[in-house]
Amino acid sequence: PEESAVDEAGVLHLGGVPVTELAEQYGTPLYVYDEAGLRRQIRRFIDGLNARWPESEVLFASKSFPAVGMYRVAAEEGLSVDIAGGGELRLALAAGVSPSKLHFHGNAKTDAELRMAIDAGVDTIIVDNTDELDRLERLLTKPQKLLLRVIPGVDAKTHASQATGGADSKFGLPMDQALAAIERMRAHPLLEFEGVHLHIGSQILDVEQFGEAVAKISTAGEFDVYDVGGGLGVKYTYDEVAPSVDAYLDTIVAAARAHLPSGARIMIEPGRAIVARAGVTLYRVTTVKRTGRTFVAVDGGLADQMDAALTGQRFEALLGNRALDPWTETSQLVGRQCESGDLLVDRAPLPEARVGDLAVVATTGAYGYTLANNYNGALKPAIVFVRDGAARLVARRETYEELLALHAPALEG
């Protein structure tokens, strides 16, 4: 995170708060966000896009971090919000995000969800398929703004599970079917077709791919709105190089100038690139085992960092209570879940770790909390925002009682 420093005793401070205090007060595993850094990153996107293409809108892809505390920050900073389901809709509304800032995504929206979104008055629904048009025709009683998701036919160079723009994607319609769907919307009085949406994938490190996607989408026709999705990658490991927000925006806007109508509105939907680097996860070291290799095991793992397994994402870590101690042992930083893929850092250059040390795993602000699950009976960790030397709890830790409460039908039966 931007607001981090190490004191004379070797303790890492985040947003001016020692990680040892955070762990003490809130327990571990703990998701910690540098709020000032988060807000600055949001401004980089909003100001950067507005300066280059004034008729534009930055949406936060909230699936990357759907916390009420985050929706509040997004609303305060003037971000619009992409929601992908009834749950995210409820969280965003509860946080006070204006429905006029909400854009509703999903490839399998139900009647109930569409009704919730329409009743709430969301700004745009991004239509994925023609079943959804059937539903909307049945449900709508007033005009509704719509975008149509099209498959641009760009094979993103990323992990297969993160590529969504290739010809065999389950998301959106191929170009020929898209044109028919657009005709259908244009012929219906309540279906207000505004333009097209695409999203080629996630954790994309080559910005040229975004330019390529903009060029491809322009072949669908001339519209008022082009939403070119999210997907900008971030630097996770020391050996990785990631493009800057400016390089990303430069590429998109250059492609827009070359291929899109000059009066069109451009939307982007970054998720990861807004939140990933503002967040770290604190873990307590519970076991240090020296066999052929050194395994440093912590009190969390893929249950709270699912991408370690889902996409094989690797992170970097340090010992937050001994951040000045030199690298003396190359260790496997592993979690406590019963999966061999439960590896957080491969060959971590750490001091010799001891039970009770605090492992700080960096760049975990995106897709960590949101994918957290109860594997091995794990509890969803708490979230804390730090800023100017103060910490505030924005989501508390799940409890064993809550876990048991779901099983009341069996327990009471």
The residues annotated as belonging to the active site are 338
Distances (CA, A) of 325 to 207, 352, 359, 388: 37, 9, 13, 26
| 269 in contact with ligand LLP (CB under 6 A) | yes
| 364 in contact with ligand LLP (CB under 6 A) | no
265 is in an annotated binding site: no
| 216 in contact with ligand LLP (CB under 6 A) | no
Q: What angle do CA 65, 198, 280 make, to 5 degrees?
A: 20
Q: Give whichever of 170 and 354 is closer to ligand LLP, judged by the CB atom.
A: 170
| 336 in contact with ligand LLP (CB under 6 A) | no
**From the CB of 234, what's the least distance to ligand LLP, in Å?**
9
Question: Considering CB under 6 A, how many residues would be counted as binding ligand LLP?
Answer: 23
| 231 in contact with ligand LLP (CB under 6 A) | yes
Q: Where do runs of H (alpha helix) occur along 260-354?
A: 272-275, 307-310
Find the Cα–Cα–Cα–Cα dihedral 266, 270, 273, 279, rounded to 10°. 140
Instruction: Give, for 390, the enclosing helix (H) or strand (E).
Output: strand 390-395
392 is in an annotated binding site: no
Q: What is the DSSP string of 68-122?
A: HHHHHHHHHHT-EEEE-SHHHHHHHHHTT--GGGEEE--SS--HHHHHHHHHHT-
The stretch near ligand LLP (CB under 6 A) out of 50-58, 134-142, 182-190, 269-277 is 269-277
| 109 in contact with ligand LLP (CB under 6 A) | no
Rounded CA-CA distance 60/7 in Å is: 34
Q: Give whichever of 204 and 353 is closer to ligand LLP, judged by the CB atom.
A: 204
Collect all residues with Cβ–Cβ distance below 8 Å to 180 and sequence separation of at least 6: none
Q: Give whichever of 310 and 324 is closer to ligand LLP, judged by the CB atom.
A: 310
Mutual angle of helices 130-139 and 175-186, in 10-degree steps:
10
**From the CB of 105, what's the least distance to ligand LLP, in Å?**
5
Of residues 270, 300, 365, 381, which one binds ligand LLP by CB under 6 A? 270
Site string for ligand LLP, 144-163 (x = CB under 6 A): ------------------x-
The stretch near ligand LLP (CB under 6 A) out of 30-38, 207-215, 266-274, 289-297 is 266-274
Of residues 49, 61, 89, 213, which one binds ligand LLP by CB under 6 A? 61
Cis before 29? omega within 30: yes
User: Token pair 């967040």 is at which residue?
Assistant: 279
Nearest to 34, CA basis, from 237, 245, 272, 280: 280
**From the CB of 317, what's the least distance to ligand LLP, in Å?**
18
339 is in an annotated binding site: yes
269 is in an annotated binding site: yes
Nearest to 367, CA basis, from 156, 103, 67: 67
The stretch near ligand LLP (CB under 6 A) out of 13-21, 39-47, 268-276, 320-328 is 268-276
Give backbone dihedrals phi and psi of 80, rounded to 5 degrees, phi first.
-85, 175
271 is in an annotated binding site: yes
Identify the DSSP state of 52.
H
The stretch near ligand LLP (CB under 6 A) out of 108-116, 306-314, 374-382, 402-410 is 306-314
Of residues 93, 179, 264, 310, which one binds ligand LLP by CB under 6 A? 310
230 is in an annotated binding site: no
Of residues 35, 304, 307, 357, which one binds ligand LLP by CB under 6 A? 307
Residue 290 is encoded by which pair of tokens? Answer: 């020296």
Nearest to 342, CA basis, from 369, 305, 302: 302
Does residue 85 contact residue 64 with C-beta atoms inside 8 Å? no
240 is in an annotated binding site: no
| 271 in contact with ligand LLP (CB under 6 A) | yes
Residues in the chain: 413
Residues 72-101 that bind ligand LLP (CB under 6 A): 82
Identify the DSSP state of 207.
T
**From the CB of 109, what's the least distance to ligand LLP, in Å?**
13
Of residues 273, 297, 382, 391, which one binds ligand LLP by CB under 6 A? 273
Q: Residues comprising the binding site for substrate?
A: 272, 339, 367
Annotated binding-site members: 231, 269-272, 339, 367
Residues that bind ligand LLP (CB under 6 A): 61, 63-64, 82, 105, 162, 199, 202-203, 229-232, 269-273, 307, 310-311, 366-367
